[in-house]
Amino acid sequence: MVDLCEGGNEPAGSLEAICKTSKNITMQEYTFEGESHFRYLGVIINNNCDVSGCVNDKIQAGNRAYYANLPLFKNQLLSRMTKIKVYKTVVRPVVTFGSETWTFTKKDENSLRSFERKILRRIFGPVSDHQGWRIRSNNELLNLIGGQDVVKFMKAQRLRWLGHVNRMPETRTPIKMLKGRLYNRRRKGRPKLRWVDGVSKDLEIMGVRGWTNMVKDRVKWKAVVKEAKTHSGL
């Protein structure tokens, strides 16, 4: 889906207002219209390097996938563990597709975890205690799925992709893009968080040192990726 935006009096911060910042590119007799965002291989890419719109789009797609399979999640003949497997194989991949290249904000992480908890609460249902029935807490849900929530899964996938790219030959485009640098004057204000900054922070939280050398060893790096899926700090 590609949106073409024209001028008008739109409120600041709206999609139409953002579109007006997109500039056309003229090359000889050809003019290419600037776009604020477009969908490429199922992922929304915009002109301000913000993944929040893509996260919201994936959550909506995940909701559609969940309700499309609602009869399975309501089926009393299926155990809770079977329903969790259905969620992880049918619903979660819809939300996490392309997340290897995302740079999360805290708001994005909260939105993703909130989406998953909503489904988990419907699968596991309320719990009974001495005060009556109550909904399960966030920590209870996390323990029920073995500490492997959707955000940790995405961060583990980012680390897996980091290892894959760093083992590529230097002539490959992905490794060139990862290690390449743009030399220009920095804009005023706080710089945007880069993808490699987010990945490096995750490795720092996990206590992984010297990852640039460790990443060459597939066995060791596979262990790092596996640990990230359940690490309490991520």
In this prediction, what percent of the chain has a pLDDT beyond 90? Answer: 62
**Chain-centre distance for alpha carbon 150:** 9
Cα(41)–Cα(61) distance, rounded to whole angstroms?
14
Residue at token pair 């291989």: 41
The 10 Å Cβ neighbour count of residue 39 is 13
What confidence tier does 65 reach under pLDDT thresholds 50, 70, 90? very high
Dihedral (Cα; 55, 58, 143, 107), 10-degree rounding: 20
- Which of 15-19, 32-36, 76-80, 129-133 has the lowest average pLDDT? 15-19
Task: Provide the pLDDT for residue 42.
Answer: 79
What confidence tier does 37 reach under pLDDT thresholds 50, 70, 90? confident
Of 211, 210, 208, 202, the residue nearest 233 (C-alpha)? 202
Average pLDDT, the chain: 86
**In angstroms, what CA-CA distances link 24 with 93, 94, 187, 188?**
36, 33, 21, 24
Task: Provide the pLDDT for residue 22.
Answer: 65
Do the strands 132-134 and 127-129 form a parallel or antiparallel pair, or are they unpaired? antiparallel
- Measured in residues, the chain has a length of 234
Cα(4)–Cα(215) distance, rounded to whole angstroms?
42
pLDDT digits (tens, 9 = 90+) for 153-198: 999 999 999 999 999 999 999 999 888 887 777 778 777 788 999 9
**Selected residue with higher pLDDT from 24 and 118:** 118
Q: Please spell the DSSP secondary structure of 90-141, one letter per residue.
A: IIHHHHHTTGGG----HHHHHHHHHHHHHHHHHHH--EEETTEEEPPPHHHH
Task: Provide the pLDDT for residue 132.
Answer: 87
Task: Provide the pLDDT for residue 128.
Answer: 87
